[in-house]
Amino acid sequence: MSIHHSIPREKLGVALVGLGEYSSGQLGPALKATAYCSLTAVVSGSEEKRKKWQDEYQLKSENLYSYADFDRIKDNTDIDIVYIVLPNSMHAEYTIRAARAGKHVICEKPLATTVEDGKRMIEACNEAGVRLSVGYRLHFDLFHQELMRLGRGRTLGKVRRIIADDSMAIGEKDQWRVKGSLAGGGPLMNNGIYCVQAAQYITGQLPVAVNASFLPKTDPEKFKDVEEGIQWEMEFVDGTVAICESSYARDGNFLRAEADDGWFELSPAYEYSGLKGRASTGEMIFPEVNQQALQMDDFAICIKNNKTSRVSGEMGLRDLIILKAIYKSASGGRKEPLDLDAFAQP
């Protein structure tokens, strides 16, 4: 893979597609802290944003793209990785176009809005011989890695119950996150996916069933397209249960595991920084890390070493199947079985 001389040879070039809040507040700054990749291009419909990013990140004029000329990236050797930071309904189209341009892809979560799209994305990347990763930043956070260690290693005995709540009081009613056609769902797709993730990486198991119900709508005008809140249980084959909730009407940021010989929890649990952890054995003390910088660096290392990302497209597809089962259960009012045998254990 040829890397243009304009960046140090050991760094892979990243193009950010979509310059909204997450790109400007998190990914851009993280790319100033990465060791193995750097920002080389941006894609935005706004000329003003492109110019602003060019000035701040010293980007070449020819590395500023609009959505109309996005496919020209295939000829640009400054770009190795394309990071899709668009509304959920656009993930599939731009991941597939990036793959066809021969670029590796990081796609923000959720992978897509339908399971069919998720499969098409994985297929396109496989066909093009490029890697696909999902923006699951918490896998790179030291507190969450400690939860994985405690849960899977049964350090405090077998985990019996997980309690997870990721909620946020969402602002104005005209944002894309409350538009069903763009978001593909409400808080479950945006926040609840972190609870789905955590239950699996703490237990090291795949769920076998889900049971869900929608929470009542207090603002039917704002939430006419998507759920305002949802609660669900995930059941695992060994009897472990995860009790989860996600809402757009209040704030919630909690993750707890109860085991045979103790407990461990994070509160706040899902933030970009400032996480706090405690266990029955004492407080968790870990340095703060830049989750996004570590996530992107890890992907760059995977590409260099021709390895699959630990937060792969397949993992994103697995979670999408679970999210859809949760919605089906909430709509139908009954437990939904899951068959995830095709997926590796988390």
Q: What is the pLDDT of residue 10?
A: 81
pLDDT for residue 241 is more than 90: yes
Q: Is the pLDDT of residue 5 over 50?
A: no
Among 146, 28, 35, smallest CA distance to 85 is for 28
pLDDT of residue 346: 76
**Distance between terminal CA atoms of the chain?**
31
Question: Which of these is catalytic: 36, 194, 201, 270?
Answer: 194
Question: Would the pTM count as exceeding 0.85?
Answer: yes
Res 35 pLDDT > 80: yes
pLDDT band of residue 344 (cuts 50, 70, 90) is confident
Task: Calculate what percentage of the chain has a pLDDT beyond 70.
Answer: 97
- Give percent of the chain with pLDDT exceeding 90: 95
Confidence of residue 1 (pLDDT cuts 50, 70, 90): very low
Catalytic residue, chosen from 83, 94, 103, 109, is: 109
* Res. 8: pLDDT tops 90: no
Mean pLDDT, rounded, for 23-49: 97
Across 295-308, average pLDDT: 96
- Does 3 have pLDDT greater than 50? no
pLDDT class of 174 with cuts at 50, 70, 90: confident
Residues 328-342, mean pLDDT to the nearest whole number: 97
Enumerate residues 6+ apart whose C-beta is below 8 A from 285.
none
Average pLDDT over residues 30-46: 97
Mean pLDDT of the chain: 95
pLDDT digits (tens, 9 = 90+) for 211-237: 999 999 999 999 999 999 999 999 999
pLDDT score of 159: 98
Cβ neighbour number for residue 56 with a 10 Å cutoff: 13
Active site annotation includes 103:
no
Record the tokens describing residue 71, joined without a space. 């496919």
Q: Is the pLDDT of residue 81 over 70?
A: yes
Predicted local confidence at residue 9, as pLDDT: 62
Residue-wise burial string across 179-215, b where 16 or more C-beta atoms lie within 10 A, e elsewhere: beebbbbbbbbbbbbbbbbbbbbbbebbbebbbbebb
Provide the CA 218 distance to its chain's centre, in angstroms: 28
Tens-digit pLDDT profile for residues 134-148: 999 999 999 999 999
**Structure confidence at residue 345 (pLDDT):** 78
**pLDDT for 6:** 46
More confident residue, 195 or 175: 195
- Asked whether the predicted pLDDT for residue 2 surpasses 70, the reply is no
Residue 172, C-beta contacts closer than 8 angstroms, at least 6 positions apart? none
- What is the maximum alpha-carbon separation in the chain? 59
